[in-house]
Amino acid sequence: MTFTGFPDEGLVFYEGLDADNSKAYWTEHRQDYERYVRAPMQALADELAAEFGPAKLFRPYRDVRFSSDKTPYKTHQGTVLHPEGRGLGSVYVQISADGLFVAGGCWRLEADQVERYRRAVADDLPGGPLAAEVDRLRAAGYTIDGDRLVRMPRGYSADHPRAELLRHKSLHASAEWAPEDWLHGPGALDRVREAWRQFAALNRWLADNVGASTAPPDRRR
pLDDT tens for residues 42-58?
999 999 999 999 999 99
Average pLDDT value for residue range 55-81? 93
The three state secondary structure string of 135-166 is HHHHHCCCEEECCECCCCCCCCCCCCCCHHHH
Q: Report which of 126, 136, 214 is spatially closest to residue 166, judged by C-alpha positions.
A: 126
Range 156-163 contact pairs with CB under 8 angstroms and sequence separation of 24 or more: 156/118, 156/122, 160/122, 161/131, 162/121, 162/122, 162/127, 162/130, 162/131
Using a 10 angstrom Cβ sphere, with 0-12 exposed, 13-18 middle and 19 or more buried, the burial of residue 63 is exposed
The predicted-structure confidence for 135-168, as pLDDT tens digits, reads as follows: 999 999 999 999 999 999 999 999 999 999 999 9
- What residue spans define the domains of the chain? 8-212
pLDDT of residue 104 exceeding 60, the answer is yes
- How much is the pTM? 0.93
On the question of pLDDT at 23 being above 70, the answer is yes
| CATH classification for the domain delimited by 8-212, as one of 3.30.930.20, 3.30.360.10, 3.40.47.10, 3.20.20.70 | 3.30.930.20
Q: What is the pLDDT of residue 116?
A: 97
Q: Which residues share a beta bridge with 76? A: 96
Phi, psi (rounded to 5 degrees) for 102: -130, 150
Going by pLDDT thresholds of 50, 70 and 90, the confidence category of residue 182 is: very high
**Would the pLDDT of 14 be above 80?**
yes
* Reported confidence tier of residue 27, pLDDT bands at 50, 70, 90: very high
| CA pair distance 162, 95, nearest whole angstrom | 34
